[in-house]
């Protein structure tokens, strides 16, 4: 069973499930990106630390650092499900936009996850 992210209760009063396995992987990508290391009690290393960089000044070094952090976190936590092909990150006025291009290892299908988060 693939639980929905963010956690929800369905109309039957049960834990909501992801619509498809592809949707579940995309939701897991979002979890890795927007979870800060130390936020999960039983997995203190889980996450990417991405939200800590939202208000940092935009420059080439920051972009490279963020891309490295995101790739590393996705490889560590989802490396058995996906192969990351590219990461694009931008932030403006407390809004963080991330685009991850990846291949599902099981089906070799290319996917794009575009996620945004308003911070602050």
Q: Residue with structure tokens 């058995």? A: 80
Residue 101, beta-bridge partner list = 86, 112
Q: Write down the CATH number for the domain with range 21-118.
A: 3.10.450.40
Note the pLDDT of residue 6: 61
pLDDT in tens, 9-45: 778 887 777 667 788 888 889 889 888 888 988 999 9
pLDDT in tens, 75-98: 999 999 999 999 987 777 767 788
pLDDT in tens, 98-107: 899 999 998 9
Residue 96 in tokens: 């963080």
Note the pLDDT of residue 67: 84
pLDDT in tens, 51-73: 777 666 666 777 778 788 889 99
| pTM for this model (two decimals) | 0.76
CB 72 within 8 A of CB 83: no
């Amino acid at each position: 069973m693939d639980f929905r992210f963010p956690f929800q209760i369905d109309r039957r009063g049960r834990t909501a499930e992801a619509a498809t396995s592809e949707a579940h992987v995309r939701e897991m990508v979002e979890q890795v990106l927007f979870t800060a290391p130390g936020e999960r009690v039983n997995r203190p290393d889980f996450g990417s630390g991405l939200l800590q960089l939202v208000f940092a000044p935009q420059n080439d070094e920051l972009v490279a650092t963020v891309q490295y952090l995101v790739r590393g976190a996705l490889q560590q936590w989802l490396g058995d499900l996906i192969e990351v092909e590219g990461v694009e990150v931008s932030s403006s006025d407390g809004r963080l936009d991330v685009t991850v291009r990846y291949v599902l290892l099981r089906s070799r299908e290319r996917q794009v996850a575009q996620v945004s988060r308003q911070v602050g």
